[in-house]
Structures are given as structure tokens and as C-alpha cells.
């Protein structure tokens, strides 16, 4: 397993008070969401350090074993998304280390937010809901929740009430909206503080969603 991740970073223009760690999807890299830092027009933007990690390069089974940046291997495309669960845990360790590094810089965990798109959303949820210190929030976009059963026994009480934003495209051909809604319903049934938004889009992010994400982050970074 890789011991650390390369990152793309945007440093705060004023005193560093908050951190956002944003995880890309399969085959992309840390630059994929780099522009989002300014597009969100956040109230605290000048005090936020944005971190966009690069997933490790590894073979991906559904893509014929082609090597690409991936947080875990996808073994089979289906509504259930048969995936490499061990790979999810390995990537979660790497992201937890990034959170630890921000805390070591003096940023309280309650002022650190995890966000992710598609595969990155899986890792954001998996890591955040197990992290031993309370986070500001979790954003999970166009994603699903492969390790739900394990979560029931591995969840961290520190993040039982952490706000969670889930957004999904109604026309998504990559991660079916049914998979995303099933993840939301499962988290809601476990009494997590989770909100759901769907949009008339495919496997992407739209302007309306960015507006809702901005409101969410402004509410948790107070």
C-alpha cells in the first residue's frame, strides 16, 4: 500500500482556519475539482486550505486491467457494484492520515470537511463515518456505499451527528441513482444527519448542485 498521497493544494489567503479534503473519481486526479474552490464562493474561502489528493495508480478490472488512478478496484459493474473492499480500507487509511496532518497543523477536526465524487465519495463516507474525531461535515456526490454492513459495527460515535450532503444525477449512467438513494436510505435509517439532493444531470456536477454545496459548507464552517 502507498504510504502517502500526492496532493494538489490551494493555500488560504488569510489565517488558516478550515480545511477541505476533496477526492476525485475513477481515472481522474487531484486537478479534477481544483477549480471548485473559487466556484463555490464560500464565505470563509480566504481561510480555507483546499487539498485535492491523487489516488494511487492501480489496475482496474472493469477497464480491462488498465492502470489508472483509483481509490479501489471495481470488479464488476452492477447495481451493487462488486468492489475491492480491502482497497477501500487501504485508501481510507491514507485519507485519515491527511486529516491527521491538518490537525497536526493546528486545525481542529470540527473544522475539517471531507468531500468526494463517485469513488471519492465512497472513500469520503467510509473514512468520515469511522474517523475517531468529529468532522465538520461530509459531502458525497454521485456515489454509493459498498461497506454498509461493516459500518454498523465500525462507525465512530464522534461522527454520529456530523452533517452529510448527498447529491446525485437522475440520469447518471455510471452510478445508478438507485445506488445512491439506497446509501442515503441506509444512512437515514441509522439516524445519520444526512440530506439528499438529486439533479437533472448525468455523472457530473451542475450549477444548482454547486449552490447547494456552497450553502452546506457555509453552514458547517461557522
Q: Three-state SS for 138?
A: strand
Classify residue 207: in a domain, yes or no: yes
DSSP 192: -
Which residues are the active-site residues? 118, 172, 203
Mention every residue, 6+ apart, whose C-beta is less than 8 A from residue 157. Answer: none
**How many domains, the chain?**
1
Instruction: Provide the pLDDT for residue 105.
Output: 95
Label residue 195 by pLDDT band (50, 70, 90).
very high
Asked whether the predicted pLDDT for residue 78 surpasses 50, the reply is yes
Asked whether the predicted pLDDT for residue 87 surpasses 80, the reply is yes
What is the C-alpha separation between 131 and 30, in angstroms, rounded? Answer: 22
Asked whether the predicted pLDDT for residue 15 surpasses 50, the reply is yes
Q: Three-state SS for 189?
A: helix
- The maximal CA–CA distance of the chain, rounded, in angstroms, is 46
Instruction: Provide the pLDDT for residue 1.
Output: 45
Asked whether the predicted pLDDT for residue 5 surpasses 90, the reply is no
**Residue 178 corresponds to which cell in the numbers above?**
438507485
Label residue 3 by pLDDT band (50, 70, 90).
low
Q: Are 34 and 8 in contact (CB under 8 A)?
A: yes
Structural domain that includes position 117: 7-220
Per-residue pLDDT tens digits for 28-72 = 999 999 999 999 999 999 999 999 999 999 999 989 999 999 999
What is the C-alpha separation between 147 and 126, in angstroms, rounded? Answer: 8
The more confident residue out of 4 and 24 is: 24
Classify residue 122: in a domain, yes or no: yes
Q: Which of 2-16, 33-47, 181-195 has the lowest mean pLDDT?
A: 2-16
Computed from CA positions of residues 87, 89, 90, 95, in that sequence, does the dihedral angle turn out positive or negative?
positive
Segment 107-118 shows an average pLDDT of 98
Classify residue 80: in a domain, yes or no: yes
Place of cell 462507525: 155
CA atoms in the 13 A half-sphere facing the CB of 210: 13
Residue 41: give its domain's CATH number: 3.40.50.1820
Q: Which of 67-81, 122-136, 185-199 has the lowest mean pLDDT?
A: 67-81
Classify residue 114: in a domain, yes or no: yes
Classify residue 2: in a domain, yes or no: no
Instruction: Provide the pLDDT for residue 79.
Output: 52
Classify residue 42: in a domain, yes or no: yes
What is the C-alpha separation between 138 and 161, in angstroms, rounded? Answer: 11
Label residue 81 by pLDDT band (50, 70, 90).
low
Q: What is the pTM of this model?
A: 0.95
What would you report as the CA-atom Rg of the chain, rounded to the nearest whole angstrom?
Answer: 16
**Residue 68 corresponds to which cell in the numbers above?**
489508472
Classify residue 65: in a domain, yes or no: yes
Classify residue 1: in a domain, yes or no: no
Amino acid at each position: 500500500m502507498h504510504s502517502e498521497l500526492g496532493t494538489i493544494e490551494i493555500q488560504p489567503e488569510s489565517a488558516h482556519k478550515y480545511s477541505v479534503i476533496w477526492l476525485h473519481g475513477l481515472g481522474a486526479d487531484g486537478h479534477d475539482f481544483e477549480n471548485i474552490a473559487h466556484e463555490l464562493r464560500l464565505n470563509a474561502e480566504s481561510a480555507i486550505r483546499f487539498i485535492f489528493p491523487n489516488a494511487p495508480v492501480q489496475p482496474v478490472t472493469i477497464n480491462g486491467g488498465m492502470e489508472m488512478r483509483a481509490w479501489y478496484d471495481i470488479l464488476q459493474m452492477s447495481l451493487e457494484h462488486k468492489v475491492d473492499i480491502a482497497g477501500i480500507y487501504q485508501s481510507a487509511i491514507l485519507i485519515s492520515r491527511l486529516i491527521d496532518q491538518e490537525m497536526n497543523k493546528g486545525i481542529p477536526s470540527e473544522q475539517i470537511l471531507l468531500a468526494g465524487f463517485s469513488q471519492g465519495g465512497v472513500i469520503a463516507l467510509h473514512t468520515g463515518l469511522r474517523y475517531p474525531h468529529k468532522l465538520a461535515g461530509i459531502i458525497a456526490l454521485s456515489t454509493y456505499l459498498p461497506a454498509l454492513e461493516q459500518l454498523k459495527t465500525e462507525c465512530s460515535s464522534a461522527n454520529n451527528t456530523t452533517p452529510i450532503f448527498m447529491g446525485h444525477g437522475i440520469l447518471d449512467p455510471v452510478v445508478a441513482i438507485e445506488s445512491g438513494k439506497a446509501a442515503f436510505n441506509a444512512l437515514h435509517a441509522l439516524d445519520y444527519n444526512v440530506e439528499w439532493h438529486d439533479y437533472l444531470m448525468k455523472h457530473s456536477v451542475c450549477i444548482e448542485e454547486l449552490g447547494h454545496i456552497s450553502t452546506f459548507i457555509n453552514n458547517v464552517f461557522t
